[in-house]
Amino acid sequence: MEKNKNPQLELFARPGETGELISPQRRDILYKLKTYERLIVLIISFLITGTVFYCFGIEKGKRIAHRGVKFDLAAQGRVIQRIIKEDTQIKAGANVIVANPQLKNKEDLAITPSTAGIGQDLKEVESVPAPKDKGYYTIQVASYKTQVSAQREVEELKKKGFSSLILSKGKYLVVCVGKFEDKESAKSSIVRLKNKYQDCLLRRL
């Protein structure tokens, strides 16, 4: 009976129960191996994770750069179209000008002011006489503070053949001779009056 029990026990024996003893050194080696395996697994996991994130970052950067390139290309396209349009308009305007058969070169396009009528206009201006001073003039001969003295002077001038009048100027009464249309007609009378009235002067009425 004992012989039959032993094989059954060996068949279903568990590790550690077979009677084999594990030395402490071997146990330490196994523990260290398990620790190294865990570290290696962690390092590999970090590397894989970093690689994945790096790839995602590159793809995202490519998409952003691609969008920026598209935007720049669109803006450049609009600018180029605008330049082409303006150039076309300028060329169209130049063609319209050159289409005139009378304009042979660029010098014909220069605009020069017409001087044909300038000389004639100047002659007309010179030929027109300057307008004469309108209004009447009189010769001031004396001034008095009283009406009596001024009237006496008027009587004296009347005796000499001069028509005279009295004008009020502030506190004074001014005795004047004649009434002339212009200065030229008053010159002869001034010469005659200078003999007595040296300070006489011509004034406008």
Q: What is the pLDDT of residues 125-148, one digit of tens each?
A: 455 555 555 568 999 999 999 999
Residue 79's pLDDT is what? Answer: 76
Q: What is the pTM of this model?
A: 0.35
Task: Find out whether 170 and 164 touch, Cβ atoms under 8 Å.
Answer: no
Is domain 137-204 classified as CATH 3.40.50.300? Answer: no
d(CA 37, CA 22): 21
Task: Find out whether 162 and 177 touch, Cβ atoms under 8 Å.
Answer: yes
Q: What is the pLDDT of residues 94-103, one digit of tens each?
A: 554 444 545 4
Task: Find out whether 197 and 141 touch, Cβ atoms under 8 Å.
Answer: yes
Residue 205 has pLDDT above 90, yes or no: no
Average pLDDT score over the chain: 73
Residue 86's pLDDT is what? Answer: 78
- The residue assigned the tokens 């009976």 is 1
Domain positions in the chain: 20-105, 137-204
Q: What is the pLDDT of residues 105-120, one digit of tens each?
A: 544 444 444 554 555 5
Distances (CA, A) of 152 to 66, 80, 115: 115, 100, 66
> Based on the number of CB atoms within 10 Å of its own CB, is 72 exposed (0-12), middle (13-18) or buried (19 or more)?
exposed
Distances (CA, A) of 103 to 90, 96, 113: 18, 11, 17
Tokens of 29: 């080696």
Residue 130's pLDDT is what? Answer: 53
